Structure 1
Amino acid sequence: MPYMQRIPLHQNIKCLERSATSRIQMSSFHVSSQASKMKKVQEPEKRELDLIRYDFKELKNSPKAALYLGCGGLIPFVSAPLIMAITETYFPEVAFAQIAYGASILSFLGGVRWGFSIPENSPAKPDWLNLGNSLVPSLLAWIALLFHDNLTEAAILVIMGLGIALHYDLNLLPGYPNWFRALRTVLTVVATFSLVALIIVKNTYPEKKLVSNEK
């Protein structure tokens, strides 16, 4: 009789050990799954600078036509402040020509997004976000041309438009190929610095008009 009573007791001890082990495993699995979820939540999102850094690797894959035409489009931006810096004279007609060119580029950038959203297989859908935001650069360009009497404010508006358009294309409205995003960044930076140089030239050198109004 004592031996018969020991068997179920021994079996009960094993059952308790198994249940405790299974509970520990389940609890460790639950904790690990919660920790993995927390890690996923805490992972930081990619920022604009990260996107630019990775896109620059694809700049060498740009089509020749896009690369050459894009760099050639910087000539009106760079030549205007360069000519005035060499002559050490601020020409308001040349400065307005540069701002007018920048305004036309802003309208072009808005049209690029509009045209990119129209095809049926495009990753950017023709919704209010894409089509509406594509109008913002054109509106800023129009407002900049209204400040023809104060070219500093006009240049600042064009700079703001270039920055907003680049922010849309890199972060808010993705879908462009990586080489285009890298090329857009380079062109925007050069154009922005040329407009900043225009403001510096305007406040540094004496003003002289190309065409005199005197008869």
Structure 2
Amino acid sequence: MFAFLLRRCFQITSKVQKLSQFPKGSRNITSYNLLNSCLQRKFMTHQNIKYLQRSASLWTQTSCFHMSYQAFKIKKVEEPEKRELDLIRYDFRELKNSPKPALYLGYGGLIPFVSAPLIMAITETYFPELAFAQIAYGATILSFLGGARWGFSIPDSSPAKPDWLNLGNSVVPSLLAWIALLFHDNLTEAAVLIIMGLGIALHYDLALLPGYPSWFRALRTVLTVVATFSLVATMVIKNTYPVKKLVSDRK
């Protein structure tokens, strides 16, 4: 292809040279002018083609940039984040929307948990009867939480179906509460079992089984944390202050 173009160029230049050597005359001048105009036309056509090619390439690049800019501007639809264990961002915001009876009764239910270590800390004395009353109350709360999960699974419209998973896990807190009451002579082991039961019940309600509303999840978390720290405080007081019974043994 390159050799062909070279030959064509040499042929055109040789013709131009021959025409330029014609003798002077009107006919020769006219022929020379016609040839010159034809060459100029060809040259201009060639320049126009090059200009169009450059314009086409520039338009293509501009359109590609425009399309890429538009595509860059389009935002991807973000998937909603999972909210199972995101208590701080979502569920605790709904705590203020809790029904007043549930809020007052829930906080009132912490009084037996908090009052026992508070009395012993004020008197600087460990009372086994108060510690056992706190553990017995914790066992009652565990049975209540298991019953609440059982009752939540019964209605047909409930998201938690009455299958082996839901109903079986509803029984676990009650069994731990019963085992804890068997350790009435060793209250430390009993308190550890109650803390384990509270943690397992909270894990069921927050992550494992489908679900309670956000305000109840937040309320359950607050109540469980306060009850757990109350039991831990009682165990610390047992190992810190002297033991004294509220009722002396009668012979």
Please indicate, yes or no, whether the TM-score normalized by the shorter chain is above 0.5: yes
In structure 2, runs of 5+ residues without a counterpart are 1-75
For residue 149 of structure 2, the aligned residue among 74, 91, 113 is 113
Higher relative contact order at CA 8 Å, sep ≥6: structure 1 or structure 2? 1
Structure 1 residue 174: deviation in Å? 2.1
TM-score (ref. length: structure 1): 0.77
Task: Work out the CA distance in 2 between the residues paired with 1:60 and 1:47.
Answer: 19
For residue 83 of structure 1, the aligned residue among 119, 122, 125 is 119
Structure 1 residue 85: deviation in Å? 0.5
**Could you tell me which amino acid in structure 2 is paired with residue 107 of structure 1?**
S
Structure 1 residue 46: deviation in Å? 5.2
For residue 238 of structure 2, the aligned residue among 202, 209, 214 is 202
In structure 1, runs of 5+ residues without a counterpart are 1-35
**Could you tell me which amino acid in structure 2 is paired with residue 203 of structure 1?**
N
For residue 191 of structure 1, the aligned residue among 227, 238, 241 is 227
Task: Work out the CA distance in 2 between the residues paired with 1:71 and 1:51.
Answer: 19
Root mean square deviation, CA, Å: 1.8
TM-score (ref. length: structure 2): 0.67
**Could you tell me which amino acid in structure 2 is paired with residue 68 of structure 1?**
Y
Structure 1 residue 69: deviation in Å? 0.2
Task: Work out the CA distance in 1 between the residues paired with 2:88 and 2:171.
Answer: 24
- Residue by residue over 1:78-116, the C-alpha shift from the partner in whole angstroms, topping out at 9 and shown as x without a partner, is 000000000000000110000000000000000000000
| SS of match in other structure, 1:95 | helix
Q: 1:45 to 1:180 in 2, by over 3 A?
A: closer
Q: 1:69 to 1:174 in 2, by over 3 A?
A: same
The structure with the larger Rg is 2
Give the structure 2 partner of residue 158 of structure 1. Answer: 194
- Map 1:1-215 → 2, pairs under 5 A: 48=85, 50-215=86-251
What count of residue pairs does the alignment treat as equivalent? 175
Q: Among all aligned residue pairs of Structure 1 and Structure 2, give the percentage whose two residues are the same amino acid.
A: 83
Contact residue 84 and residue 206 of structure 2 kept, 8 A: no
| SS of match in other structure, 1:197 | helix
- Residue by residue over 1:129-151, the C-alpha shift from the partner in whole angstroms, topping out at 9 and shown as x without a partner, is 10000001000000100110100
Give the structure 1 partner of residue 20 of structure 2. Answer: none
Task: Work out the CA distance in 1 between the residues paired with 2:89 and 2:173.
Answer: 25
| SS of match in other structure, 2:216 | helix
Task: Work out the CA distance in 1 between the residues paired with 2:222 and 2:212.
Answer: 15
Task: Work out the CA distance in 2 between the residues paired with 1:68 and 1:51.
Answer: 21
Contact residue 132 and residue 184 of structure 2 kept, 8 A: yes
Task: Work out the CA distance in 1 between the residues paired with 2:147 and 2:175.
Answer: 12
Task: Work out the CA distance in 1 between the residues paired with 2:84 and 2:121.
Answer: 37
Structure 1 residue 76: deviation in Å? 0.1
Contact residue 52 and residue 185 of structure 1 kept, 8 A: no
Structure 1 residue 175: deviation in Å? 1.6
